[in-house]
Amino acid sequence: MKNNKNGLFRSSLFYIVVFVLAMGVILFATGGGTGGNSSQVQKIQSSQFTNDLKKNKVKNFAIESVDGVYKVSGEYRTPQKVSQTNDLAFTVSTKGISKPAKSETKTTKFTTNVVKTDSSIKEINDLAKAKDVKMNAKPTQSNGFWLNLIVSVLPLIIFIYLFYMMMKQAGGGSGGPGGVMKVGKSQAKPVKSKVRFKDVAGEDEEKQELVEVVEFLKDPKKFTSLGAQIPKGVLLEGPPGTGKTLLAKAVAGEAEVPFFSLSGSDFVEMFVGVGASRVRDLFAQAKKTAPAIIFIDEIDAVGRRRGGGTGGGHDEREQTLNQLLVEMDGFTGNSGVIVIAATNRADVLDPALTRPGRFDRKILVGQPDVRGREAILKVHSSDKTLAEDVDLKKIAKETPGFVGADLANLLNEAALLAARRNGKSINAADIDEAEDRVIAGPAKRNRIISEKERNIVANHEAGHTIVGLVLNDARVVHKVTIVPRGRAGGYAIVLPKEDQQLMTKKDAIEQIAGMMGGRSAEEIVFDSESSGASNDFQQATQIARAMVTQYGMSDKLGTVALEDPNGDPYAQPRYSADTAATIDAEVKRITNEGHQKAREIIENHREQHKLIADALLKYETLDEKQILSLYKDGKMPAEVENETETFTEAEKAEATKEKHQEVEDHHDNDDSTDKDN
């Protein structure tokens, strides 16, 4: 903030200086140019001027060329009466228009305009010589000169100003006291972080690792006197939104030391060499204020592997990276500066960065488990009013795959929904709606859908549901709805039963069959296909391809890693065209088998399928309890047999599943509704 003010002050000062200068120039031009003391100047006719010359009344005069005429100004030897016969408008003094009164005024000064011809100038010349009048010939003068000066200088001033603003902009905007002279300076100013470890929920192991860093920064002598080597660099690695930035801020907050925060992209500038000099400046500043923390967020922007074969255009980034490496080698861990970096792409980082002596301590910040999610929900709900019926533990269970940022967003959405209905607190229904929103976008209850299309969607979703119910080893159908949301016409949420890190071949095959359930149902019930299944196919194909190329789950290709999920998707494949054909064939076989399996299951459960489809048409949304009741008993659970709307609000069955969930969507192939994987 302080820096911003500083910048504002600078720019307004600059403005003022320019303004004063311009005013001065203009004043001087108009006032000073005519050489004006207060005496009157008489404007006379050119004929009178030549007459006066002949009569030797003129003492001296100057002549200049202005706008196609010669402008003559001069002095008489003796004061002349201002001739009343002349047009009054011409009697202008520098103090204003003189009174057109009869009162006689006298002046020695006069001006006149002479037509610009050779003969006229020759006549004046000759007369002046004959009478020995002092004559001054100026090329251009007076107003013309000053006007010209303004015309030529003003654009320059404006240009300089614009350039200055541009440089300021380039200098990192809000980052600090940018300016023409500051381009190569790091834009980092130390900030005081208010975040504490308690604000970072879960992640106890990660925090434990960082406690040591904090202790060192607080009391370096304790460590250095023992000869302990403190890590120079800590690399926080993990998916986006897991709280890496938050953790780094918490370290700074706990340690109460200056915290220099920069994003990797700040180093990558439009001017070559700026990045490197920024790094130099950043480290110099940090050392001055040591103990201090330098935090480089998204370090992959500069830290990508060098010489990636992409050729050219990367010189700037490489220079910056090299400078960073040099700086990190240039200080010992005991100088009191610790560099923390964060990235979600550690695999693309240059190996030199992660070598011992640089970012030698790596902390993985992963997706939170169910307990972590509950803790995060607790932190973010502390400043919100929750109704009695909100159970954070239950929400945590329903949100496998959600990271800290998602959970913060979920609670915020719920708060907005509660405010929209003028509620006093956030209730379970708000949370439920918010969950669906975060997963699939806002509900579109007003979207007009034809009866026929609704019927197709209901049967399609019932198909997913039935297959999910039958193949229930690892996964549970959590919810199914035909309320359109985002670009999906409806969806079934299928969650894994347990927090699982691994996927078995059986899981994968079952998941694919589940994805195929929608289309299979359409085929069986309507004997037709709709475009609504395209997203299902995308997800199924993705899993099948991963099975073949990453998990070694295809007998034909064996246990070979053919593709790297984190690799460059545009890189040349490392396998032959033959292998590529085999991969395609295997993917096709796996998805076809899934399709077959789904068809079989639906054929064998036509009755239950119809029940669920009809219930969907009637109630629109079914939860786990209702789905199971329909499947097992052929009817809806007793207590909720009455109201359509309350179903979505009805208590959900205790969900006992974690991790991945799937949104199988409809009517459109929009990836944004896909929370899977």
Give the residues lining the site for Zn ion (CB under 5 A): 518, 536, 664
Minimal CB distance to ligand ADP: which residue?
A: 404
Min dist CB 461 to Zn ion, Å, is 7
**Which of Mg ion, Zn ion, ligand ADP, none binds 664 (CB below 5-8 Å, type-dependent)?**
Zn ion
| Residue 234, helix vs strand vs coil | strand
Which 248-267 residues touch ligand ADP, going by CB under 6 A?
none
Question: 């009157």: which residue's tokens?
Answer: 40
Phi, psi (5° rounding) for residue 569?
-65, -15
Closer residue to Zn ion, CB minimum distance, 253 or 518: 518
What is the contact mask toward ligand ADP in residues 381 to 420, using x (rule: CB under 6 A)?
-----------------------xx--x------------
Cα(first)–Cα(last) distance of the chain, in Å? 41
Please name the residues in contact with 375: beta carbons below 8 A apart, sequence gap of 6 or more: 201, 202, 368
For 308, 317, 318, the CA distances from 312, given in Å and listed in that order, are 10, 11, 11
Closer residue to ligand ADP, CB minimum distance, 277 or 343: 343
Q: What is the DSSP letter of 99?
A: P
Using CB under 5 A as the binding criterion, the count of chain residues that bind Mg ion stands at 1
Stretch that binds ligand ADP, among 40-48, 234-242, 548-556, 614-622 (CB under 6 A): 234-242
Closer residue to ligand ADP, CB minimum distance, 242 or 661: 242
Q: How many degrees, rounded to 5, is the angle at CA 142 between CA 136 and CA 147?
A: 145
Residue 343 binds to Mg ion (criterion: CB under 5 A): no
Of 623, 166, 672, nearest in space to 429 by CA:
623
**Which of Mg ion, Zn ion, ligand ADP, none binds 202 (CB below 5-8 Å, type-dependent)?**
ligand ADP
CA distance 278 to 233: 18
Catalytic residue among 209, 254, 298, 461: 461
The 3-class SS string of 590-611 reads: HHHHHHHHHHHHHHHCHHHHHH
Estimate to the nearest angstrom the gap between the alpha carbon of 545 and the chain centroid.
33
Give yes or no for a cis peptide into 291 (omega within 30° of 0): yes
Closer residue to Mg ion, CB minimum distance, 245 or 673: 245
Stretch that binds ligand ADP, among 239-247, 421-429, 490-498, 547-555 (CB under 6 A): 239-247
Which residues on neighbouring strands pair with residue 261, listed in sequence order?
295
Min dist CB 373 to ligand ADP, Å, is 9
Min dist CB 662 to Zn ion, Å, is 10
Which 163-222 residues touch ligand ADP, going by CB under 6 A?
200-203
Which 220-279 residues touch Mg ion, going by CB under 5 A?
245
CA distance 526 to 519: 10
Spatial contact of 477 and 639, defined as CB atoms under 8 Å apart: no
Which residues on neighbouring strands pair with residue 480, listed in sequence order?
492, 622
Q: How many degrees, rounded to 5, is the angle at CA 386 between CA 248 and CA 436?
A: 75
Using CB under 6 A as the binding criterion, the count of chain residues that bind ligand ADP stands at 18
Closer residue to ligand ADP, CB minimum distance, 329 or 347: 347
Of 390, 399, 391, 382, nearest in space to 426 by CA:
390
**Which of Mg ion, ligand ADP, Zn ion, none binds 246 (CB below 5-8 Å, type-dependent)?**
ligand ADP
CA distance 36 to 350: 73
Four-residue CA torsion sign, 534, 536, 542, 544 = negative
Closer residue to Zn ion, CB minimum distance, 354 or 673: 673
**Which of Mg ion, ligand ADP, Zn ion, none binds 203 (CB below 5-8 Å, type-dependent)?**
ligand ADP
Of 144, 178, 231, 241, the one binding ligand ADP by CB under 6 A: 241
- Residue 454 class from Cβ within 10 Å (0-12 exposed, 13-18 middle, 19+ buried)? middle
Closer residue to Zn ion, CB minimum distance, 266 or 664: 664
What is the contact mask toward ligand ADP in residues 49 to 88, using x (rule: CB under 6 A)?
----------------------------------------
Min dist CB 405 to ligand ADP, Å, is 4
Q: What is the DSSP letter of 231?
A: P
Closer residue to Zn ion, CB minimum distance, 203 or 664: 664
Q: How many degrees, rounded to 5, is the angle at CA 646 between CA 643 and CA 650?
A: 125
Residue 640 binds to ligand ADP (criterion: CB under 6 A): no
Stretch that binds ligand ADP, among 9-17, 174-182, 235-243, 471-479 (CB under 6 A): 235-243
Closer residue to ligand ADP, CB minimum distance, 247 or 290: 247
Residue 649 binds to ligand ADP (criterion: CB under 6 A): no
What is the contact mask toward ligand ADP in residues 530 to 559, using x (rule: CB under 6 A)?
------------------------------
**Which of Mg ion, Zn ion, ligand ADP, none binds 63 (CB below 5-8 Å, type-dependent)?**
none
Min dist CB 242 to ligand ADP, Å, is 4
| Residue 374, helix vs strand vs coil | helix
Q: Are strands 491-496 and 662-664 parallel, antiparallel or unpaired?
A: antiparallel
Min dist CB 435 to ligand ADP, Å, is 17
Minimal CB distance to Zn ion: which residue?
A: 518
461 is catalytic: yes
Residue 240 binds to ligand ADP (criterion: CB under 6 A): yes
CA distance 516 to 427: 36
Residue 376 binds to ligand ADP (criterion: CB under 6 A): yes
**Which of Zn ion, Mg ion, ligand ADP, none binds 414 (CB below 5-8 Å, type-dependent)?**
none
**Which of Zn ion, ligand ADP, Mg ion, none binds 486 (CB below 5-8 Å, type-dependent)?**
none
Closer residue to ligand ADP, CB minimum distance, 241 or 486: 241
Residue 244 binds to ligand ADP (criterion: CB under 6 A): yes
CA distance 434 to 399: 11
In 410-546, DSSP assigns E strands to: 475-481, 491-496
**Which of ligand ADP, Zn ion, Mg ion, none binds 405 (CB below 5-8 Å, type-dependent)?**
ligand ADP
**Which of ligand ADP, Mg ion, Zn ion, none binds 201 (CB below 5-8 Å, type-dependent)?**
ligand ADP
Closer residue to Zn ion, CB minimum distance, 324 or 440: 440
CA distance 473 to 494: 12
Alpha helices (H) along 75-138 = 118-130
| Residue 191, helix vs strand vs coil | strand
Torsion angle (degrees, nearest 10) of CA 501, 502, 507, 508: 110
CA distance 434 to 677: 20
Alpha helices (H) along 90-219 = 118-130, 142-170, 204-218
- Residue 360 class from Cβ within 10 Å (0-12 exposed, 13-18 middle, 19+ buried)? middle
Supply the residues annotated as catalytic: 461
> Could you list the residues that contact Mg ion (CB under 5 A)?
245
| Binding site residues, ligand ADP, CB under 6 A | 200-203, 238, 240-246, 342, 376, 379, 404-405, 408
